Amino acid sequence: MAVITPKIRSNICINAHPIGCAKDTLNQIEYVKSQKSKRGVKTAKEGGYAPKTVLVLGCSTGYGLASRITAAFEYGADTIGVSFEKEGTETKGGTPGWYNNKAFDRESEKAGLKTFTFNMDAFSDECRKAVIEKVKEWGVKFDLVVYSLASPVRTDPDTKVLYRSVLKPVGKPFGGPALDMMTGKITVMEASPAEGDDVANTVKVMGGEDWERWIKQLKEADVLSDGARTVAYSYIGPKYSHPIYRDGTIGAAKKDLEARAHNIDASLKSLNGAAYVSVNKGLITRSSAVIPIIAQYLGCLFKIMKERGTHEGCIEQMERLFSERLFTADKKVPVDSENRIRIDDWELDPDVQAEVDKIMPNVTQENVASLIDLEGIRHDFLMINGFDVPGVDYSKDVPRMDTID
């Protein structure tokens, strides 16, 4: 038994609070339930336009978890999730996603929803086979496949070669202020440009090749319903982050993802289906603190959007994606000229970005706590790992690390 406090090394939290993770998952579930009531959303069983069986690849944290929660608890869908997590033992902690998945499965079962979570490498054909066998066992087909994988490595299923992704600018170094979210200290950090096969390897890991392979194998196995749709997630962001993100190695991967969406969309036409990339809002992630400019930009953004009442976390974004984009009253999906769903519309609102432009150059060590939402980004950083979650008593001993009670 022990009291668990966050262990932070080099701006990365390396442990998780089991009860905090479970409570955060529960809070997200309660949010979408309230939205279901507020919006008057009807599940398929209630005669509404809604998905019945959903596959979420990368289901354990962030946008993937929020998508699965929305599908299940607002739209009444049975779900299969895939993520690769470290399990907790009686004395050693697991990854946050492992606890999130346990909480999701428990609440789904309580609500009478079918759920199954695979703790497997989603890039492997073995995982695809297991998912196909499970949905056939259920005797149903997927009408929505959410692709939300983010991994530093991927093994090619054909060649067995391991590829590594990197977050680097292309062509020249990129530098800027690096904000430590816990201390508020600002340092200058520089990222060196991509070398050798960095871009190609990152595209191999984070691009659309694996997504395309998933849809191809699901379609060949006849486990996609008539009208089945798939959505993958991307980010464009502001001009500040373009050199390190949109125009960098990860941006090259996201552009590949967006290009392959057109191929997948064409392949689903025979099922009256469609494929989309949803461009989402910038959020604090486990790596935000170690990328130049990102944490400071998000601190500015959050402050402005909270003042305007338009700030969203993962669950608010995904709930809006489902209700105002994917499952609209007229059954049409609003997209931009490149067939992308833009749920980053509030972040990239010209007035919001104009406000960001006013604040960003003026942030210093002395005024950082007043000019940006330092408290808000710190809270989000901690909450990813189950800390600083409303409704949790962190002074209490946690008896075991393999349960969420």
Rounded CA separation 97/86 (Å): 8
Rounded CA separation 128/366 (Å): 52
Rounded CA separation 387/379 (Å): 8
Collect all residues with Cβ–Cβ distance below 8 Å to 146 and sequence separation of at least 6: 54, 55, 56, 57, 58, 64, 67, 68, 71, 230, 231, 232
Which segments of 17-164 does DSSP mark as H helices, in order?
Answer: 18-39, 62-73, 96-110, 125-138
Rounded CA separation 352/238 (Å): 11
Beta pairing partners, 189: 176
Rounded CA separation 217/132 (Å): 9
Which segments of 276-349 does DSSP mark as H helices, in order?
Answer: 294-308, 314-321
Helix (H, G, I), strand (E, B) or coil at 342: strand
Question: Which residue, among 46, 114, 110, has the nearest Cα to 79 in the 3D structure?
Answer: 114
- Catalytic (active site) residue 245: yes
What are the tokens at 326?
């994917």
What are the tokens at 268?
């689903």
Beta pairing partners, 305: none
3-state helix, strand, coil in the chain (%, to 5): 40, 15, 40
What are the tokens at 173?
């170094």
Alpha carbon distance, N-terminus to C-terminus of the chain: 13
Q: Which of 31, 163, 245, 297 is catalytic?
A: 245
Rounded CA separation 269/262 (Å): 11
Work out the angle between the directed axes of helices 18-39 and 96-110 (0-180°, nearest 10).
50
Rounded CA separation 150/253 (Å): 11
Rounded CA separation 19/1 (Å): 13
Instruction: Give Cα separations from 12 to 23, 206, 331, 383 (angstroms).
Output: 21, 21, 42, 13
Catalytic residues: 245
